[in-house]
A and B are shown apart, each in its own frame.
Chain A
Amino acid sequence: MNIANILLVNIDNPDLAAQLASRGYTPVPVQDIPSMLDVKVSFATVLVSQEAIGDARAEDMERLYFASGGAPISVFISDQSSISTGLKRALDEGTLERVYGHEVASGLATSRIDRLYLSAGLDTVVRAYQQQADDKDLLHKEMSLRNRVIEHGREFNSNITGSITSGLVVIDTGGNIFLINEFARRLLRLSQGDMLGEPYRRVFPEKVSRFVENALKRIAGSWRRHDMKKITVDESVLEIATYRMNDNVHNPIGLLMLINDITDQENTTAQLYRSEKLATVGTMLSGIAHELRNPLSIISARSQMALKKTEWDREWALKTFESIDGQVNRCASILNSMLDFTRYKAVQQALHKVDEVLDETLTHVEYQSIFDDIKVEKNYQAGLVVYGDRSRFVQIFLNLILNAADAMSGRGVLRLTSSLEEQSTVLVEIHDTGCGIDAAVKDKIFDPFFTTKEPGKGAGLGLAVSYKIIQDSGGEIWCSSEPGSTSFFVRLPSGKRKVYERKTAAG
């Protein structure tokens, strides 16, 4: 038997017993406590009246305490009669958390009773007490308790708005501030004065006002219930979410704004991008060191041969220098591909052709010997564009392509497919014929620092960062995998649509 909550009451009244049972409580007559203590139960709240528990023995309370796994046990005494010696001892020994007198004033007790009333039904309890005790005085006490509960609730509300570390603002449909908490004032850099009833336009920073204005327009005119935007106020990045507030017939009555300071988060994300890029650069660098050895040793061998020779015939010299020239160019192109990748600095939002981005990505890695036995198939739909930062797109595809090559241990087919979907989204599929992703780790592959590569071969950030970049661009990434066939799908909003939206928004 495992009971979430055991309520011990004097349940001579079968009605109340049934009510409580139907709400998941197991009412147990007091005299039965000792017999059930051998059963493993978990007690969340045990609320008894002293009348019910009578002269409970300290030993019983102790056993109850241990049987409950140490959950607090409270005894509620409904009159002022003295505490039984047994309870007193249990209190002293700490097996009993607390005994509440009839003048229960503490918020703790109120909320406990409140909880109890909510689940057991206030009326039922009151009626039960009424029937049991036929005590008008007791009823009166319960009613005043009930008032206290309501009062408590009201204070509680204002306490919530004051305690949360998010800005909370309610603006009515007329554009006046109906509610604003302290934190919102702080985040929006507002002065301390009373702003209730003031038009938001007069007090909010301009960028925020513009966003609120649009949000208000949208809730008035359309089905749109929710908006979200990142706005920089002074040095802080604020994430402002708005929700439509309705009356009971679904008319909009106001706009609820939740404001969070996400500056740190944004900085962390930016750092994550950078560190992942560095990690990628590190991987590429070791690849480059590898790949430079071949041409460099050829150049060295050629020049040593030339230095050793006493006579150069023309044909021989031509062959030697063509070879040196070719190998130097090879070194240069290996280095350039690396530099290209590290060159991008600021985020440059622009339109990019998908096939060009994919081809560029391939040039960064194709020279590596792991690609010697990988057949690359391109299956591009012409004319697709995406909008965003080119280096980030390259970073995404680079990660996926390098993972694919790893999964194939350098032997297999890498197929890159791009296509236009309905809803103007671009779908890129990166398919490999490698070992596949173990079902056990499939859920974890997008987690930061998760990696199946051996130490030193990857920090486990590649997919996590790709995921973040794609999400930020309004896209999606997912994969399907079985041994011998793995596809990563990247869905990005078509650049054409993005540009169109921007134009219409501006015009």
Chain B
Amino acid sequence: MKEKLLLVDDEADFLDVLSEYLVDEGYNVSTALNANEALALLSKETFDLLLSDINMPGMKGFELIKEARRLYPSLKSALITAYDVRDYLYMAKHYNIGNIITKTTPFNFDEVLLLVKNILSEEVFGLDRYVRGPVKRTTVRSTNDIEGVIQSIVAEMPDLKHRRKFRQVLNEIIVNAVYYGAKHERGDSKESWPQEVTLSPEEEILIEWGADGEKAGVAVCDQKGILTKEEVLYWLERNATKGDNGMSVGLLDEHGKGLFISRETIDRFIVNIKRGQKTEIVMLNYKEGLYDGYRPLWIQEL
């Protein structure tokens, strides 16, 4: 049976073209021009996913999702916006919303489709969902492996932009996966982390990397799943919010900046969480100039 989507946006033209696309992709799509219309439709039919614009006259997207979740707890939801997602991190944290996709130019249908599929299927792990080309895998078994793994990944990256950016971020993410993800070391006491750590088979970190015609990607996955969506939103928001002095309020925090900086550095910073089982961070970089502009918020906790 076709899955039912409800799209809400005050841009009628946008609703029209996006629903045309999603219908082509095999979904059953309804549209609403504002929150009230959407709530009326929700009361008549059962939907699988609500995808709403944020900035609409009247009730905004965040409030709509809050209300819809209250009325229909099993309804899945995500937001979409043409604006800077960073400005909405506070709201995302407040409403505990992990998915905000962006209306990019050129419009990224693939990304919208992937997000919709991910949310509906609750299948989110594995770099092959995100990159079409062949995916290579390796594991990190001790801190001594880290530098070698980074070097071999970066050497295979298709162009300079990818290499430079991935190198900056990979170290941060893998080190965190080993110490925090696998060994549960506290992020606020990095100075007391042991110099060398060896991981047992249940603690090993899985690394995947690969590229397709338009992007390159790396996924770093632990086997513990201790990071939560709330935590990620907390640290992102803390670093995106400016205090009275114009600096980010998270500037002097002992940790938490790595997540934010990684998200700022990488085109798509995706966090997948299965509580108690695994945490996967997927990092995608597009070819220079493609889908430039605002970055989506993409955290999925199952």
Contact = CB atoms under 8 A, between A and B. Distances in A.
B106 A304 contact: yes
Interface stretch (A137-145, A154-162, A295-303, A479-487): A295-303
A275 interface: no
B55 A304 contact: no
A202 B207 CA distance: 94
Contacts of A372: 10, 55-57
Interface in A234-292: 290
A369 interface: yes
B224 interface: no
B113 interface: no
B37 to A, nearest CB: 16
A302 to B, nearest CB: 5
Contacts of B56: 372
Nearest to B112: A301
A298 B242 contact: no
A304 B82 contact: no
B103 A294 contact: yes
Interface string B97-111: 000000111110100
A327 B14 CA distance: 10
A293 B57 contact: no
A290 B82 contact: yes
Interface stretch (B17-25, B115-123, B172-180, B196-204): B17-25
Contacts of B82: 290, 293-294, 297
Contacts of B242: 454-455
A293 B292 CA distance: 11
Nearest to B21: A305
A373 interface: yes
A232 interface: no
Contacts of B253: none
A298 B13 contact: yes
A290 B107 CA distance: 15
A24 interface: no
A305 B20 contact: yes
Most B-side CB within 10 Å, residue of A299, A300, A455, A456: A300
B107 A294 contact: no
Interface string A119-149: 0000000000000000000000000000000
Contacts of B148: none
A293 B109 contact: no
B58 interface: yes
A326 B13 contact: yes
Contacts of A455: 242, 246
A293 B14 contact: no
Contact of A305 (B14, B17, B103, B105): B17
Contacts of B20: 305
B16 interface: yes
Given A304-B109, A369-B55, A373-B58, A293 B17 contact: no
B5 to A, nearest CB: 16
Contact of A323 (B10, B16, B104, B293): B16
A297 B246 contact: no
A301 B57 contact: no
A301 B293 contact: no
A506 to B, nearest CB: 53
A323 B57 contact: no
B11 interface: yes
B246 to A, nearest CB: 4
B258 to A, nearest CB: 25
A327 B16 CA distance: 13
B88 interface: no
A279 B107 CA distance: 31
Given A297-B103, A297-B107, A302 B57 contact: no
Interface string A453-475: 01110000000000000000000
A297 B104 contact: yes
Contacts of B103: 293-294, 297
Most B-side CB within 10 Å, residue of A298, A299, A300: A298
Contacts of B293: 293
A293 B103 CA distance: 7
Contacts of A305: 17, 20-21
A300 B83 contact: no
A293 B105 CA distance: 7
Contact of A301 (B10, B14, B55, B83): B14
Interface string B114-134: 000000000000000000000
B17 to A, nearest CB: 5
Contacts of B104: 297, 300
Nearest to B14: A298
A12 to B, nearest CB: 66
B17 A323 contact: yes
B16 to A, nearest CB: 7
Contacts of B13: 298, 323, 326-327
Contacts of B106: 300, 304
B11 A301 contact: no
Contacts of B105: 293, 296-297, 299-300
Interface in B75-105: 82-83, 103-105
22 contacts: A290-B82, A293-B105, A293-B294, A294-B11, A294-B14, A296-B105, A297-B14, A297-B82, A297-B105, A297-B107, A298-B11, A300-B104, A301-B17, A301-B18, A304-B107, A304-B109, A305-B20, A369-B83, A372-B56, A372-B57, A454-B242, A455-B242
Given A305-B17, A305-B20, A372-B56, 16 more contacts: A290-B82, A290-B83, A294-B11, A294-B14, A296-B105, A297-B104, A299-B105, A300-B104, A300-B107, A301-B109, A304-B109, A305-B21, A323-B17, A369-B83, A454-B242, A455-B242
